[in-house]
Structure 1
Amino acid sequence: MTPTLDEVVVGVPEARLRPYVGRYIGYRETAPAPLVRHEAAGAFVVVILGWGAPLDVVDPRAAAHGAYAVDSFVAGPFDGYCATSTVGVGVGVQMLLTPLAARRILGTPLGEVANRAVGVDQWSDGWLDRLRRRLAEEPTWGARFTLLDAALATRLAGAEPVDARLAWAWRRLAGEGGPVRVAGLADELGWSRRHLAVRFHRETGLTPRTAVRLLRFQRAYAALGRRLAVCEPLPAPVREDPPPARTWADLAVRYGYYDQSHLIRDFREFAGATPAALFPPGSHPSNPG
């Protein structure tokens, strides 16, 4: 029996939250048999606030870093792929947060949760679990999204700002204007490379070099996922502006890789498979990247 995505509702946070939260995704899904999904690595934090069937989040590299039989959890950032498994009816809201946004909203240095999934019932002050319970009591998705707006705005209002130098470094690394040398970034900040790596990892859960790799992978993952999901075999041309790359090698260069082999290696490391294996015709990526 195949799983059924019964309902997906996308909510846009109010304007003051949009620099921190891209969107809310409300969902209801029925899995009559065990459903296992590969979840790609990413330079972001996943927050699931659910009130349906429990699931497991498993890191194949370290089972102790997963979360088991939970309906709600915080995960990441992860520099390797993991898997989720569930059976039954799952209902909840998903949010993807950039690391520095998550640092402020969650109130925890992300070095403490990198490569880990933590059930919200284990979160230090219990606010996420209380929020989950309140969301479950609301009768409509609109009311739930309004409640999320209010809760996240309150958290941000009471949070200390992130060090402006780290925020600047993140913006440089996340920019799409070309590669950024970590050594040059440290020099511009007036820090040693080691000091930058330690500070950056404590706050974001990633080293600068890993962040660069994951951000590059996310762009390629999202773009290739969209292309392959609509059954457009490579190297067939696709209508878009600018004109598409026509080979895997061209695609690799477009997204900042040295060559096709470099692209494939990163996909194997961060997603557990090659791009073509990940997105067969008719599929879609579970993480938007």
Structure 2
Amino acid sequence: MDGVLTEAVVGLPDPRLRPYVDRYLGYREYAARPLVRREVAGAFVVLILGWGAPLDVTDPRAAGRGAYGVNAFVAGPFDGYCATRTVGAGAGVQVLLTPPAARRLLGLPLGELANRAVPVDRLGRWLERLRDELAGLADWPGRFARLDAALAGRLALAGPVDRRLLRAWRLLDGSGGGVGVAALADETGWSRRHFAVVFRREFGLLPKTVARLLRFQRAYATLGRELITAPAGGAGQLGAARAGWAELAARCGYYDQSHLIREFREFAGATPAAMAQGSHSSNPR
């Protein structure tokens, strides 16, 4: 095989960090020839602290948004799919952050990071030092414990996110994108326009776009679970085994099957049926 994930270890953060960090993923991989993956869009921020073979991260909509020859970077949130390319042996830890968590940990408005991949050396020496410390440790439990300590220490020094924005985020996220912008603005006490401007500045994307991404993430995760549990015969028989894409669309809050397919094309670069035949994305399902 051209690309092999030789090791993948999931770590759960300290319980005090769970509101901010869902999980850690430690990985090792080897690619004998250039390995390209498509990474789906998402209303989250990805922190990669890696060592070994570097990657190129590219956004097909604008080359200048990417990062090239890096093994430690921050990406997103993205409202379109992007791609990574690597060759050789690499290792590292992937950390998925909600926008409020990333806003606190990184100490800058996510409007400066939206639809961009940025090497960590542009975001503060603490991330570079942390990457080097992780590379020098002997095992994944030790690396995850060091991540716990570093992130908890950073949060202790960081200022809080505006409580009105945080409540709006929690309502939007908790509803899977089902709460309208007008209702969210009312919760903050701001006008709809002011709310949208501040939300985008602090969390990177407009609230309406985040709502679409949250709905897509639910559909993408559902597709992944159903592929795992699909009966013998493979992903190509998923539609026959389930009620089909129209039923998936209805479950996930889309108007119809066409709406679902359009969103997948925009955010994943492929239709659900094409992805059911085999996805190269490393983003979570």
The Cα shift of 1:271 comes to 0.5
Give distance in 1, aligned partners of 2:187 and 2:169. 13
Aligned residue for 1:217?
216
d(CA) in 2 for partners of 1:43 and 1:204? 9
Question: Does residue 1:116 correspond to 2:116, yes or no?
Answer: yes
1:247 partnered with 2:267 = no
Matching residue of 1:279: 276
Q: Is the 8 A contact 2:54 2:71 kept in 1?
A: yes
Q: 2: distance between equivalents of 1:184 and 1:176?
A: 12
Q: CA deviation at 1:286?
A: 1.7
Cα distance change on mapping 1:188 and 1:121 into 2, 3 Å? closer
Distance 1:188 1:70 in 2: 41
Aligned partner of 1:202 in structure 2 is 201
Deviation at 1:81, TM superposition (A): 0.3
Matched, 1:257 2:261: no
Contact 2:177–2:211 (Cα < 8 Å) also in 1: no
In structure 2, distance between residues paired with 1:103 and 1:188? 21
State the alpha-carbon separation in 2 of the partners of residues 145 and 120 from structure 1: 19
Q: Distance in 2 between matches of 1:120 and 1:106?
A: 10
Offset at residue 227 of structure 1 (A): 1.7
- For residues 279 and 108 of structure 1, the distance between their equivalents in structure 2, rounded to whole angstroms, comes to 37
Question: Which letter maps to 2:190?
Answer: W
Structure 2 length-normalised TM? 0.94
Q: Are residues 155 and 177 of structure 1, via their aligned partners in 2, closer, same or farther at CA, if it must alter by over 3 Å? A: closer
How many angstroms apart in 1 are the aligned matches of 2:148 and 2:130? 11
Q: Which amino acid is 2:130 matched to?
A: L
Secondary structure, aligned partner of 1:135: helix
The separation in 2 between residues aligned to 1:139 and 1:187, in whole angstroms, is 51
Tell me how far apart the structure 1 counterparts of residues 161 and 251 of structure 2 sit (CA, whole Å).
32
Q: Which moved more, 1:30-39 or 1:228-237?
A: 228-237
The CA distance in 1 between the partners of 2:56 and 2:143, in whole Å, is 24
CA distance in 2, matches of 1:185, 1:249: 29
Q: Provide the residue aligned with 2:284 in structure 1.
A: 288
TM superposition shift of 1:285:
4.4
Q: How far did 1:226 drift?
A: 2.5
CA contact (8 A) 1:225 1:285 kept: no
Unaligned runs of 5+ in 2: none
Between the aligned residues of both structures, percent identity stands at 68
Alignment of 1:170-189 (within 5 A): 170-176=169-175, 179-189=178-188
Work out the CA distance in 2 between the residues paired with 1:178 and 1:26: 30
Comparing both structures, which one devotes a greater share of its residues to helix? Answer: 2
Determine if the alignment matches structure 1 residue 166 to structure 2 residue 170.
no
Residue 78 (structure 2) pairs with residue 82 (structure 1): no
Gap change, CA 1:177 and 1:280, over 3 Å in 2: closer
Q: CA deviation at 1:178?
A: 7.5
Which digits, 9 at most, give the CA deviation of each residue in 1:236-274, with x for residues without a partner?
346xxxxxxx12111101101000000000000001010
Match 1:236 to one of 234, 240, 257: 240
* Cα RMSD (Å): 1.5
Question: Take 1:225 and 1:177, find their aligned partners in 2: how far apart are those partners?
Answer: 17
> Residues 196 and 86 (structure 1 numbering): CA distance in 2 closer, same or farther, change over 3 Å?
same
Amino acid of the structure 2 residue aligned with 1:154: G
* Deviation of 1:200 (Å): 0.4
Letter in 2 for 1:273: A
Give the secondary structure class of the aligned counterpart of 2:28.
strand
> Is the alpha carbon distance of 1:273 and 1:133 closer, same or farther for their aligned partners in structure 2, counting shifts above 3 Å?
same
Q: CA deviation at 1:179?
A: 2.0
- The aligned amino acid for 1:248 is W
Does the 8 Å CA contact 1:79/1:214 hold for their aligned counterparts? yes
Q: Is the contact made by 1:228 and 1:276 (CA closer than 8 Å) also made in structure 2?
A: no
For 2:48 and 2:202, how far apart are their aligned partners in 1? 21
Q: CA deviation at 1:2?
A: 2.3
> Match of 2:34?
34
Tell me the distance in 2 between the aligned counterparts of 1:54 and 1:15.
Answer: 32
Would you say the 8 A contact 1:103–1:110 is kept in 2?
Answer: yes
Structure-1-length-normalised TM-score: 0.93
SS at the partner of 1:89?
strand
